Amino acid sequence: MDIEQIIDSVNALSEKEKNKWSFKSIRLFKQFESSLFLSEPYRLVLDSNVIMRFEDIENEKNNSSLLAILTFFNFFNSQKEFRASILIRPAVFYEFIRRRQISDEIDYWNQCKRIRKLIYDTIGIDALFEGLSSYEVAKSEITNIQDDETTIKRELKSILSKDWDFNFIQNEVGFVGFPRDENSYIALPVSVARESVKLPELKYFDTQIAKLCLADHILKRLVTNKNNDQEIIAKYYNPDNHLLHKILKFRTNGELEGLADLDFLSLCNVNRQFQIQANYNYLPSSIPMTVDKKLDEGLHEFSKAVVVNTTITVGEPEELIRMKHEQSFEQQKRVKKSEKLFESFRILARNFWSEVDEKI
């Protein structure tokens, strides 16, 4: 679908849906822009909700999400400065085939062909796979995902079954907090939540990311429980910093929503990737592509690259101090380079949107 067709379809939407298209389009542009702290090569990691929107074209259904995705990729294909591969991960593949195990090699091959054809026919870019190199590998990864799903569901059910009455005034060491008097301290609600998650090591997903999401469920219940000390909660809890409870939740049919989102929160974590790429370490940069508002908000918590300042200790050898200064300088160079990329991207995006806005 070319830009003229996209604009015609947008203009056919209701005002409410047109506004949704605008917000979702901007969200996709921001996801790419916020990842420009990172080094090339870039990989656009497609969420299952993006690929499933491509199926709407086959069913001749235009909607705000589909049109936002098409708008971004029309922009991306029209410019030459930024290039990226399209990546499909096992968790997204699992959701695309409707959360089932692949039955045999023929089923594996047909599903791989189907997803690649759907993507190429829609946005004109060949998709690549990671963790799906053969039937045996794909089957093993899906088995691991299903095992993790069972483990996470069990822990989330346990969390939701409790009332979470809790006394934040503690006498015994066990949580991060602040001294209250000689014999007690105030346990921080976020520390209580994170220490209360009982999750064994996962096989496919990042265990720490899953724990953070589950901990936010506990935290939400701690702070909304009227039996708990509201004065302490008001002082030590900021709801804007704890949005991950929106990621994992049960659907009405008992299915776990947000499973593949865990993969995005670990793989597309800008800060983690920025640190790994320090000192010229090679790591392809993974950029999320999702129209899921909850996942986008969760990713925002990890979207800022943090430059870690080098600590210099008195009495250290001169060569060691020089090395630390050079490492710090290299970090600053990376940030300055990214600032130029931000500006280039914003100019391209601004020019694109000025043309689109004239026709909306």
> DSSP string spanning 181-222?
SSS-EEEPHHHHHHHT---PPPSSS-HHHHHHHHHHHHHHHH
Q: What is the pLDDT of residues 228-269, one digit of tens each?
A: 999 999 999 988 878 899 999 999 999 999 999 999 999 999
Confidence of residue 65 (pLDDT cuts 50, 70, 90): very high
Q: Using the structure block, give the residue that is written with the tokens 């710090």.
A: 328
Integer angstrom CA distances of residue 238 from 194, 195, 210, 216, 276: 15, 18, 20, 12, 29
286 and 223 in a common domain: no
List the strands of the sheet with 42-46, edge to edge: 127-129, 84-88, 42-46, 285-289
Residue 10 lies in a domain: yes
Residue 345 lies in a domain: no
Taking the CB of residue 330, how many other CB atoms lie within 10 A of it? 12
Residue 171 lies in a domain: yes
| Crossing angle (nearest 10°) for helices 318-357 and 64-78 | 110
Residues 106 and 145: their CA atoms lie apart, in Å, by 21
Closest to 3 measured CA to CA, from 54, 59, 62, 77: 77
Integer angstrom CA distances of residue 179 from 187, 235, 238, 317: 9, 15, 20, 39
Q: Using the structure block, give the residue that is written with the tokens 């060949």.
A: 126
Residue 360 lies in a domain: no
Which is more confident, 28 or 311? 28
Q: What is the pLDDT of residues 29-42, one digit of tens each?
A: 999 999 999 999 99
264 and 117 in a common domain: yes
* Over residues 278-288, mean pLDDT: 93
Q: What are phi and psi of 12, to 5 degrees?
A: -85, -10
Enclosing domain of residue 103:
3-133+260-306
**CB distance 170 to 185 below 8 Å:** yes
Beta strands in 13-61 (DSSP E): 42-46
Confidence of residue 177 (pLDDT cuts 50, 70, 90): very high
Residues 4 and 123: their CA atoms lie apart, in Å, by 15
Counting the structural domains of the chain, the total is 2
Predicted TM-score (pTM) of the model is 0.91
269 and 231 in a common domain: no
120 and 158 in a common domain: no
266 and 123 in a common domain: yes
Confidence of residue 307 (pLDDT cuts 50, 70, 90): low
Residues 67 and 101: their CA atoms lie apart, in Å, by 31
